[in-house]
A and B are shown apart, each in its own frame.
Chain A
C-alpha cells in the first residue's frame, strides 16, 4: 500500500530515471559527434562521385538517436516481458570497484616512467593487497613468481619489447 502511494505518477511513471539520464548523456554525445561531422574536410572534385565521408556516420547517428530516445520508456515494455532493467544497477558502484579503477589508471599513467617490469610487479603487489589479500605465504611467491614468469615468457621467449623505464636509470 505504502509502495503504491510512493509510486511516481504521470510522466514520472513513464520515464525511468536512470535511463533518462543515460538518454540525455547519449544525446549530448550524438550532438557533439554530429557537430564534428560538419567539420570534416571537403572532398576534392576528383572524389565527388563517392558518397561524402560524413554521410555514413551521420546516418548512423540519426538511427542511434532515434533508438536512444526510446530508452527512457523501454522499462515499460521490458516489465511486460518480466525483465527488470534496474536489477543490475540497483546498488551503487562498489567502493572496491572505484578504487580498482583508480589504481589501474594510476598504474597505466605511470607505466612509461616505471617501465614494463616494474609495472607488472606493481600490479601484482597493489591489486591483491588492495583487495584484502594478507597471507604472506601466498603473496610472496605470487609477487616474485608471477612477474618473473611473465617477463621470461613474453620478453625472453616471445620477444615482446618491454620498455626498461626506471630500471634503465638505475642501471646507468
Chain B
C-alpha cells in the first residue's frame, strides 16, 4: 500500500501530469490519423524523452499507448478507416451505426467500453504483475531462456498474414541484436570494420525506420485517396439502461482482452478480433452485426483497451513485451537504465505503480478528451497527407540523429524504413522483428549462462520442470495451426 501511495505521489508533480495529458492528446491524435500509430509515436518520442525523469518519460509513453488504442476507433467509426490496427473490428459496426445517423452514440459506446476495458485490465495488472514478478524471481538463466524461447514462438501468431514469416522476422531481430562486441568475450561480430557498429545497432533508429519511415513509403502510394466522412458534432455517452444491456459483453471482452494482452506478443488487434467474434457468438441479436450493433462496438473496444493494460503485465514483471508498443516501452526502460523484469517490481515498486497511475489517468483522460474534442479529432484525419508525412519524416530524422548525435543512425533509420517497406510488401511484419531485437539480448545472455552452468550440455536444461513447461508451451504454440484445425474439424 505504501508503494502505491509513493507511486501515485511520484505522478502528482505538475510536470508529470502535464506530460501524461500530452501523451493522451498525442495518442488520440495519432490514433485518429490513419497511417500514424501509437508504436510509431512512441518510437518517435523515445529520443526526446531520454533527458526527462524516467517516471515522466515512461508515464507519458504509457498514456500515449492507452489513448492511441482508443483514438483509432474515431476514424474507424467516422470514415470507416481504422486509425490503428486494433480498431479494425470496431469499424464493422461503428461505421454502419454512424451511417445510420448515430455517430455520437457510436463514439460514446466506444469511449465508455474502452475506459471500462482499460480500467479492468489495470486492476488485474496491479494484482498480477507483483505475483508474476515474485514467481519470476525464482527463475535462473535456464528458466529465462525457456521463457524467451516461448515468447519468440508466440510471435508466430502476432498479426500479419503468415506465422512463418513472423517467426523469421523475429529471429532476424534477434540476429540483428548480435551485431557489435560480444559482451562475454569481447569479440566483434558482424561489424564489417565499421566503428559505428561496434556498439551494436541502436534500437531507436531501427524502430523509427520500421514504424514511421516504412509507413511514409506506403502512404506515398496512395496520396490522392479520397475518404467519405460522417459529421460528428459531439460524443454521446450511453444511457445507464443501454450499459446495463451491454454489461456482459463489456465484461467478457475485458476479460478476454486482458488475458490475450498478458500472453507474450499477442497484442490489441488479436484481442479486438476475438472480442468482436465472442460478442457476436453470445449475442441474442446476431443478425444486427455488421449493421450497427452496439455489441459489435463495445466488444472489440473493451477488448483492445484491456489488452493494452494486460500487455504491460509481462513487460514489467518479466521483461517480455506483450505487444509491439510495449516492446518500445521496454526499449525506453532499458535506455533509462532500468532492468525490466522481476527486479523492477521488487526493487522499485513505486515506479511500477506510477506507470499504473499514468495509465489510469490516461483512461479517464481520453474519455474527457473524447467528450470535448470528438469533432476536432474527426477533422484531423483530413490533414493533407502531402504535408503530414514530410513532417513525420523530419521528426524521424531528428529523433534518430538526436539519440546519439550520429548521422550513421539516420542512415540506419532510412535503411530500416526501406527494409520495413519491402518486408511488408512480401508479408513480413515489422513488429516481430522489433520484439526479436529487444528479446535478443535476453535470449543470448540466458542461453550462454545456462550453457556455462550446465557444462555446455543443452539437454541438462530440460531437468528444470519450468524449462520443460516452457518448451512444451513453445511446441504447442508452434503447432497450434495444426491442432486447432484438428479440433475445429471434430
Chain B residues, CB < 8 A from A150: 394-395, 398
Interface size on A, residues (CB 8 A): 62
**Chain B residue contacts of A158, Cβ below 8 A:** 48, 51
- The answer for the CA separation of A90 and B182 in the assembled complex, in Å, is 42
A57 touches B410 (CB 8 A): no
A41-B390 CB under 8 A given contacts A70-B164, A105-B414, A150-B398: no
Residue A4, interface by CB 8 Å? no
Q: Chain A residues near B418: list those with CB within 8 A.
A: 101
Is the C-beta of B168 less than 8 angstroms from some C-beta in chain A?
yes
Q: Tell me which residues across on chain B come within 8 A of A40, comparing CB atoms.
A: 187-189
The reply on A53 being an interface residue by CB < 8 A is yes
The contact of A60 among B175, B186, B192, B213, by CB within 8 Å, is B175
Chain A residues with Cβ under 8 A from B452's Cβ?
Answer: 49-51
Among the stretches B72-80, B279-287, B343-351, B419-427, the one at the interface with A is B419-427
Complex contact A41–B405 (CB within 8 A): no
CA distance A161 to B47 in the complex (A): 13
User: Within residues 411 to 468 of chain B, which ones have a CB less than 8 A from any CB in chain A?
Assistant: 411, 414, 418, 421, 424-427, 444, 447-448, 451-452, 456
Query: How near does chain B come to A124, taking the closest CB pair, in angstroms?
Result: 6
> B187's contact among A19, A22, A53, A68, by CB below 8 Å, is which?
A53
Residues of B within 8 A of A18 (CB): 426
Closest B residue to A139 by beta carbon equals: B387
Interface residues on B, range: 35 or more
Interface string of B170-202 (1 = CB under 8 A from A): 011011001000101111111010000000000
Is B372 at the interface (CB under 8 A from chain A)? no
By the criterion CB–CB under 8 Å, are A100 and B384 in contact? no
Give Cα A94–Cα B447 distance, bound, in whole angstroms. Answer: 44
B414 touches A128 (CB 8 A): no
- A70 CA to B481 CA in the complex, in Å? 16
Please name all residues of chain B whose beta carbon is closer than 8 Å to the beta carbon of A96 when the two chains form the complex. Answer: 220-221, 223
Are A127 and B448 also in contact (CB < 8 A) when A57-B189, A71-B164 are?
no
- A160 located at the interface, meaning its Cβ lies under 8 Å from any Cβ of chain B in the complex: yes
Bound complex: CA A108 to CA B398 (Å): 11
Say yes or no: is B407 at the interface (Cβ < 8 Å to chain A): yes
Distance of A162 from chain B, by nearest CB (Å): 9
Alpha-carbon distance between A78 and B217 when the two chains are bound, in angstroms: 26
**Partner among A89, A116, A120, A131 whose Cβ is within 8 Å of the Cβ of B426:** A89
Verify if B161 is at the interface (C-beta below 8 Å from A). Answer: yes
Bound-state Cα–Cα, A64 to B170, Å = 10
Output the nearest chain B residue to A40 by Cβ-Cβ distance. B187
A92 → chain B closest CB, angstroms:
10
Q: How far is the CA of A67 from the CA of B168 in the complex (A)?
A: 7
B397 at the interface (CB under 8 A from A): yes
Q: Smallest CB-CB separation from B182: which chain A residue?
A: A53
1/0 per residue A123-135: CB within 8 Å of B? 1100110011100
- Chain A stretch 66-86: residues in CB contact (< 8 A) with chain B: 67-68, 70-71, 74, 78, 83, 85
Q: Whose C-beta in chain A lies nearest to the C-beta of B217?
A: A97
Q: What are the residues of chain A within 8 A of B390 when measuring CB–CB?
A: 123-124, 127-128
- Judge whether A64 and B164 touch: CB under 8 Å: no
In the complex, are the beta carbons of A108 and B164 less than 8 A apart? no
Q: How far is the CA of A169 from the CA of B391 in the complex (A)?
A: 27
Asked whether any CB of chain B lies closer than 8 Å to the CB of A27, the reply is no
The closest CB in chain A to the CB of B418 belongs to A101
A93 to B213, CA, bound (A): 16
Pairwise interchain contact A101-B217, C-beta atoms closer than 8 A: yes
Q: Report the minimal beta-carbon distance from A60 to chain B, rounded to whole angstroms.
A: 5
Within 8 A of B (CB), among A123-158: 123-124, 127-128, 131-133, 138, 142, 146-147, 150, 154, 158
List residues of chain B with CB within 8 A of the CB of A123.
390, 393-394, 397
Query: Taking each of B216, B220, B452, which has the highest tally of chain A beta carbons within 10 Å of its own beta carbon?
Result: B220
Which of A53, A68, A94, A108: most chain B CB closer than 10 A?
A: A53
Q: Specify which of B185, B384, B421 is in contact with A133 (CB 8 Å cutoff).
A: B384
Residues of chain B with a CB closer than 8 A to A100's CB:
216-217, 220
| Known A41-B187, A101-B418, A127-B390: A88·B384 in contact at CB below 8 Å | no
CB A31 to nearest CB in B, in angstroms, measures: 14
Residues of A within 8 Å of B164, CB to CB, are: 67, 70-71, 74
- Least distance between A35 CB and chain B CB atoms (Å): 11
CA distance A71 to B168 in the complex (A): 10
Contact of B120 with A by CB under 8 A: no
Q: Indicate if the CB atoms of B407 and A112 lie closer than 8 Å.
A: yes
Pairwise interchain contact A43-B175, C-beta atoms closer than 8 A: no
Contacts of B401 in A (CB 8 A): 116, 160
- Shortest beta-carbon distance, A57 to chain B, in Å? 5
Instruction: Select B185's contact among A43, A71, A101, beta carbons within 8 Å.
Output: A43
Residues in B whose Cβ lies below 8 Å from that of A112 = 407
Interface string of B380-399 (1 = CB under 8 A from A): 00001111011101110110
- Chain A residues with CB under 8 A of B51: 158
The contact of B405 among A33, A132, A161, by CB within 8 Å, is A161
Are B448's CB and A41's CB within 8 A?
A: no
Other-chain residue from B174, B187, B447 in contact with A43 (beta carbon distance below 8 A)? B187
Q: Are B175 and A61 in contact (CB under 8 A)?
A: yes
Q: B171's contact among A41, A63, A138, by CB below 8 Å, is which?
A: A63
Q: Are B397 and A108 in contact (CB under 8 A)?
A: yes
Q: Which residues of A contact B187 (CB under 8 A)?
A: 40-41, 43, 53
B48 close to A131 (CB less than 8 A) = no
22 contacts between A and B (CB under 8 A): A19-B426, A33-B190, A36-B192, A52-B185, A53-B189, A56-B448, A57-B178, A64-B168, A68-B168, A71-B168, A83-B162, A88-B424, A89-B426, A97-B421, A101-B217, A111-B407, A124-B394, A127-B393, A128-B386, A132-B224, A158-B51, A160-B398
Further contacts, 8 of them, CB under 8 A, given A47-B186, A127-B389: A36-B192, A41-B188, A47-B185, A57-B175, A60-B171, A85-B427, A100-B220, A111-B397
